[in-house]
Amino acid sequence: VEECDDSNTQSGDGCDASCALEAGWDCSGEPTTCTEICGDSLVVGDEGCDDGLLAVGDGCDASCLEEPGWDCTGEPSQCVEICGDSLIVGGEECDDGLQVAGDGCDASCLEEPGWDCVNEPSQCSEICGDSLIVGGEECDDGLRVDGDGCDANCMEEPGWDCVNEPSQCNTVCGDDIIVAGHETCDDGDAQPGDGCSDTCQIEPFYACDGAPSQCVCTVFVTEAGGSTQNGQSWSSAFSSVQAGVDQ
């Protein structure tokens, strides 16, 4: 007994060569017209997939066609996101067209810590101020301010050295750079006794100028054998300094 007859003896179109109905198809009429049954977990005819559902956004749409950005195999179809195709689908957080780590979007198409990714394909940029040092950042102290060693773009400022996460920044004494508010001189070394101390502070009886600092002693020996500091007698100048130390 014929179950169908579509006027041909080809199989794979819903009505096989013996005029029997094929699984996954719905056939009716004379001559028989057959259409694929989407949602029955069988992949037949022009179906690209069939996951047993009639939903969208899971890789296999309501017409049993593969959705862009997915790869579906098996019966019922199991669909997985294609990472590296520049499309963000399913559980992907980003897709920059690559499958490499360290650029903000990792090999599994998840955002890496310290990055923010937008658009398709994903464009990822470092998050300055999150205390993580990634990409082209040289430092990140959790702030976005200038003047503390790590600037508002997470770059080390001249005269500073930053380490750790979050970054801890300290001035570099001996680098010929005077950091305002922290150093009063910098003569290119960290040796005391030359006018600029090992913490880059001007030493007593010296005046320093420029960067690198040029320091000169302000105590002078007179022809009479005495000494003066800016017009003061040596004993007066020494007494003034000593009084400051005693305090």
C-alpha 156: how far from chain center: 17
Reported pTM: 0.74
* Grouped pLDDT means (10 residues each) for the chain, 247 residues: 92 95 96 97 97 96 98 98 98 96 97 98 98 98 96 98 98 97 96 96 97 92 54 43 38
Give backbone dihedrals phi and psi of 241, rounded to 5 degrees, phi first: -65, -45
Q: What are phi and psi of 43, to 5 degrees?
A: -100, 110
Q: How far apart are CA 7 and CA 17, in angstroms?
A: 10
Looking at residue 47, its pLDDT comes to: 98
Q: Which residues fall within 8 angstroms of residue 26, CB to CB, at 6 or more apart? A: 14, 34, 35, 36, 37
**Predicted pLDDT of residue 1:** 83
- Residue 223 CA to residue 227 CA, distance in Å, equals 9
Distance between CA atoms of residues 178 and 184, nearest Å: 7
The predicted pLDDT at position 219 comes to 86
